[in-house]
Amino acid sequence: MARYIVRRLLWMIPVLFFISIVTFALAHAVPGGPFDREKPLPAEIVANLNKYYGLDQPLWKQYTDYIGLTRNPAGEFAGVLEGKFGPSYSSRSRTVNDIFRDHLPVSATLGLAALAIAVGMGVPLGVLAALKQNTFWDYLSMAVAIFGVSVPVIVLGPLFILIFALTLHWFPVAGWGRPSQMVMPSFALGLGSSAIIARLTRASMLQVIREDYIRTARAKGLSERMVIIRHALKNAFIPVATILGPMFAALVTGTFVTEQIFAIPGMGKYFITSITNRDYPVVMGTILLYAVFLVLANLVVDITYAFLDPRIQYE
Amino acid sequence: MTTQERAVQRLTNGTPVPKGQERKVTNLWLDALQRLLRNKAAVLGGIIVILLILMAIFADQIAPYHYAEGDSNENYMVPLWLTKVMPGHMEKYAKIGDKFILGADYLGRDILSRIIYGARVSLPVGFAGALTALVIGLVYGSISGYYGGKVDNIMMRIVDIMYAFPTMLLIILLMAFFKTSFGGANEPGTAAYTFNQINKIVDRFLGLEGGGMLFIFMGIGITAWMGIARLARGQILSLKEKEFIEAARMIGASDLRIIVRHILPNIIGPILVTVTLNIPGYISTEVFLSFIGLGVDPPTPSWGSMISEGSRAIRSYPNQVLFPALALAITMFAFNFLGDGLRDALDPRMRGTS
């Protein structure tokens, strides 16, 4: 198991290396520079700025500087490998690390809240549907599920604002910080995923409760509640766990949309404006960071597997 | 007498099956079609999809106005009937009128017409995404799974790397790249120029005056094929050791013939289902791109850009966001119903799963 984890972690190195090269090339291939303005700055100033940030260097040197393999114009190793994501060209008083520190927690909180809602609603709905198969409850939860899959956050967001903020006045229209401001965005983002989880839980639960070991558990006189929680649910959760990794990734990137709708000061706004502003370090840093999240989330899921199902073994 | 009829005769010892009890001799696809037609939700979804396609094709005839045509006297018009359904503060800010049935946007353009023309963006994106994912994924997965060994190993590691990209962020970056590098290319002879010309042809073919649809297809296509590739590979791995493949190889069929004639027909079902179920995802990706301004170029209407414009003034003019959002939701419902039905029809054992 330990060897497996180490191997997976080592595999991250070429993956992230590749992603950084592709992202760097793509970001720099977008025409224009970070100091292009509608009213152009004097050429000398642009030249000085480019020199200061090392943008006059050949592209490969800029890349190695960014990664931290070579000394930057200031003569020091200050790249991603040293934990420094560089300066932000458009908000010049702050580094990319500052931006991460201020705005990443917001996005992460939103993503996690949505995930909590997805699991917290999806699993019970799925279990209920499976245990009461072909009854009203089954149809109701599956109707909720198909609604959740079909109505994307971009529709749910404005709809929530219209109903719960403007008509019923339960929650504030937008913003972030107070718990009441977090309810609508988290639900808007998490509902779709909860639908996917509900459908998957139902399917896998239906399969598991027909297994022999469930009959055995009942036969030895366990209470129904015990059978469901200890034996059925634990095994039914395995397929659900497999999609939690990709789902978390989707939710984390989904925060971008949600943040736009509810005016939440997360990473979304920074990433989108940084692309149009050619703010390369912000673009690169965000993509790399999210890629690390993604790879780690998938690893955690694979490890969780092994705990849930002892039959799964990694060598 | 056909082979099937002969087989039936042999099985029934020559006694003819009583009239009215014969089981119709049919094939897998007809059988699946019959099951699909019995599924009410899927039929409803299918009908809506067909109606949407017709709406997109005949937008010029159906829409009361052209999508870019604005009436400057009717900016921000809210329809009268809506103020009765949703009494609130609309009367305070908005211009109430009844020229346009769903109201008008900030340039006085008819929202209904823009929604109708918006289908020319959303549907092609859904289908093009599905087609690209299908073609690339199938070819890639087939090669990887069929040849196995080192080829398979390398090809699947590439898929792993692609999976590690945060998809949404990559699409955003790709779109920025396509739009600025290709979209503005006016110098003949360069690759960027060629792309731009193809893009213009695609836009014209779709009946839009500009819009940059090719770039959206490319952005979604590049990030959409990996799931299908993995699925196809897995299916082929499990098939290629089967006896009938062995037999085909024995009588000297070429690799290409084996893949196309013997393997693909056996794996196409689950792959088609997955692709259909992914269509709503492609559609909502475009909607999101247009929402943040990296999708279609104005004045081409996209439900995403309409929702984006509308959500800025949701309090005073809810009609601007409500109706495009409704159009999007109905489309997503239809494709999901159809995809679910297709899955149940092609593989009854999978009913109710995932």
Assess contact for A154 and B328: CB atoms under 8 A. Answer: yes
Which of A18, A149, A162 is opposite residue B314, by nearest beta carbon?
A162
- Whether B140 has a pLDDT exceeding 50, the answer reads yes
Res B48: pLDDT = 94
Record: contact B310-A286, CB cut-off 8 A: no
| Residue A165 CA from chain centroid, whole number | 26
Q: What is the DSSP string of A234-247?
A: HHHHHHHHHHHHHH
Of B129, B303, B120, B275, whose CA–CA distance to B215 is shortest? B129
pLDDT level of residue B354 (50, 70, 90 thresholds): very low
pLDDT level of residue B17 (50, 70, 90 thresholds): low
In a domain, B33, yes or no: no
Record: contact A149-B352, CB cut-off 8 A: no
| Residue B46 CA from chain centroid, whole number | 13
In a domain, A315, yes or no: no
- Whether B351 has a pLDDT exceeding 50, the answer reads no
φ/ψ of A144, rounded to 5, equals -60, -40
Res B63: pLDDT = 81
| CA nearest to A277 within chain B | B176
Can you give the pTM of this predicted structure? 0.84
Which of A18, A146, A166 is opposite residue B336, by nearest beta carbon?
A146
CA dihedral in degrees (B296, B298, B301, B306; nearest 10)?
A: 100
In a domain, B32, yes or no: no
Return the SS3 of B58: coil
CATH number at residue B154: 1.10.3720.10
| CA nearest to A246 within chain B | B163
Segment B268-288, tens digit of pLDDT: 888 888 888 889 989 988 998
Segment A91-116, tens digit of pLDDT: 777 888 888 888 888 888 898 999 99
Q: What percent of chain B has pLDDT over 70?
A: 88
Does residue B216 sit in the same domain as residue B335? yes
Residue A212: Cβ within 10 Å count? 8
Which of A26, A199, A253 is opposite residue B177, by nearest beta carbon?
A26
| Residue B170 CA from chain centroid, whole number | 20
In a domain, A231, yes or no: yes
**Averaged pLDDT for residues B103-112:** 83
Range(s) of the domain holding residue B203: 38-350
In a domain, A103, yes or no: no
Q: Which chain B residues have a beta carbon less than 8 Å from that of A272?
A: 172, 292, 294
Q: Quote the tokens at residue B91.
A: 């009367």
φ/ψ of A77, rounded to 5, equals -80, 110
Does residue B284 sit in the same domain as residue B326? yes
Mutate to test the interface with B, among A155, A189, A206, A238 (most CBs of B within 10 A): A155
Does residue B249 sit in the same domain as residue B345? yes
Of B327, B323, B298, B292, whose CA–CA distance to B70 is shortest? B298
Cβ partners under 8 Å of residue B207, min gap 6? B59, B60, B120
| CA nearest to B354 within chain A | A200
Of A278, A115, A137, A130, whose CA–CA distance to A208 is shortest? A130
pLDDT level of residue A314 (50, 70, 90 thresholds): low
Which of B328, B336, B340 is opposite residue A155, by nearest beta carbon?
B328
Q: How far apart are CA A70 and CA B332, in angstroms?
A: 50
Return the SS3 of B2: coil
Cβ partners under 8 Å of residue A95, min gap 6? A84, A85, A86, A87, A88
Is the sign of the CA dihedral A144, A146, A149, A150 positive or negative? negative
Angle at A271 between CA A266 and CA A274, to 5 degrees: 130
Return the SS3 of B198: helix
Does residue B254 sit in the same domain as residue B131? yes
Res A114: pLDDT = 92
- Whether B7 has a pLDDT exceeding 70, the answer reads no
Does residue B302 sit in the same domain as residue B232? yes
Which region among A73-77, A187-191, A208-212, B141-145 has the lowest average model confidence (pLDDT)?
A73-77
Mutate to test the interface with B, among A20, A142, A150 (most CBs of B within 10 A): A150
Mutate to test the interface with A, among B314, B331, B335 (most CBs of A within 10 A): B314
Which region among A242-251, A286-295, B147-156, B301-310 has the lowest average model confidence (pLDDT)?
A242-251
Q: How far apart are CA A314 and CA A302, in angstroms?
A: 9
pLDDT level of residue B50 (50, 70, 90 thresholds): very high
Q: How far apart are CA B277 and CA B155, in angstroms?
A: 25
Amino acid letter, B238: S
Return the SS3 of B96: strand
Segment A12-63, tens digit of pLDDT: 888 888 888 988 888 888 777 778 777 778 888 888 888 877 788 888 888 8
Q: Which chain B residues have a beta carbon less than 8 Å from that of A151?
A: 329, 332
Does residue B162 sit in the same domain as residue B233? yes
φ/ψ of B109, rounded to 5, equals -95, 140
Chain B: nearest CA to A6, how far in angstroms? 17
Structural domain total, chain A = 1
Does residue B261 sit in the same domain as residue B305? yes
Chain A: nearest CA to B345, how far in angstroms? 17
- Whether B348 has a pLDDT exceeding 60, the answer reads no
Helices (H), B148-241: 149-164, 167-177, 191-205, 213-222, 226-239
Of B340, B125, B146, whose CA–CA distance to B245 is shortest? B146
Q: Which chain A residues have a beta carbon less than 8 Å from that of B176?
A: 30, 275-276
Does residue B184 sit in the same domain as residue B65? yes
ipTM at complex level: 0.84
Record: contact B332-A158, CB cut-off 8 A: no
Structural domain total, chain B = 2
pLDDT level of residue A181 (50, 70, 90 thresholds): confident
Record: contact B166-A252, CB cut-off 8 A: yes
Which region among A7-11, B91-95, B273-277 has the lowest average model confidence (pLDDT)?
B91-95
| CA nearest to B166 within chain A | A291
Give the largest Cα separation in chain B, rounded. 84
Does residue B42 sit in the same domain as residue B79? yes
Residue B287: Cβ within 10 Å count? 30
Which of B176, B292, B315 is opposite residue A166, by nearest beta carbon?
B315
Segment B215-268, tens digit of pLDDT: 999 999 988 898 889 888 888 888 888 888 888 888 888 888 888 888 888 888
Residue for token pair 């992202």: A23
In a domain, A190, yes or no: yes
Residue with the larger pLDDT of the pair B18 and B346? B346
- B237 vs B134, B145, B230, B234, CA distance in Å? 18, 5, 11, 5
| B266 DSSP assignment | H
Does residue B190 sit in the same domain as residue B113? yes
- Whether B55 has a pLDDT exceeding 60, the answer reads yes
- Whether B350 has a pLDDT exceeding 60, the answer reads no
Q: How far apart are CA B318 and CA A158, in angstroms?
A: 9
Assess contact for B272 and B342: CB atoms under 8 A. Answer: yes
Q: How far apart are CA B177 and CA A306, in angstroms?
A: 42
Mean pLDDT of chain A: 83
Does residue B197 sit in the same domain as residue B319? yes
Res B330: pLDDT = 93
Does residue B91 sit in the same domain as residue B23? no
CATH number at residue A233: 1.10.3720.10
Assess contact for B186 and B193: CB atoms under 8 A. Answer: yes
In a domain, A79, yes or no: no
Record: contact A271-B177, CB cut-off 8 A: no
Peptide bond connecting B299 to the previous residue in cis, omega within 30 degrees of 0 = yes
Range(s) of the domain holding residue A168: 108-308
pLDDT level of residue B200 (50, 70, 90 thresholds): confident
| CA nearest to B86 within chain A | A167
Which of A19, A31, A203 is opposite residue B352, by nearest beta carbon?
A203
Record: contact A287-B322, CB cut-off 8 A: no
Mean pLDDT of chain B: 83
In a domain, A6, yes or no: no
In a domain, A196, yes or no: yes
Res B115: pLDDT = 92
Q: Which chain B residues have a beta carbon less than 8 Å from that of A166?
A: 88, 314-315, 318
The residue count for chain B: 354
Q: How far apart are CA B106 and CA B321, in angstroms?
A: 12
Q: How far apart are CA A212 and CA A215, in angstroms?
A: 5
Q: What is the DSSP string of chain A?
A: -HHHHHHHHHHHHHHHHHHHHHHHHHHHHSSS-TT--SSPPPHHHHHHHHHHTTTTS-HHHHHHHHHTSS--TTSS--SGGGT---B-SSSTTSBHHHHHHHHHHHHHHHHHHHHHHHHHHHHHHHHHHHHTTTSHHHHHHHHHHHHHHHS-HHHHHHHHIIIIIIIS--S-SS-SSSHHHHHHHHHHHHHHHHHHHHHHHHHHHHHHTTSHHHHHHHHTT--HHHIIIIIIIHHHHHHHHHHHHHHHHHHHHHHHHHHHHHT--SHHHHHHHHHHTT-HHHHHHHHHHHHHHHHHHHHHHHHHHHHH-TT----
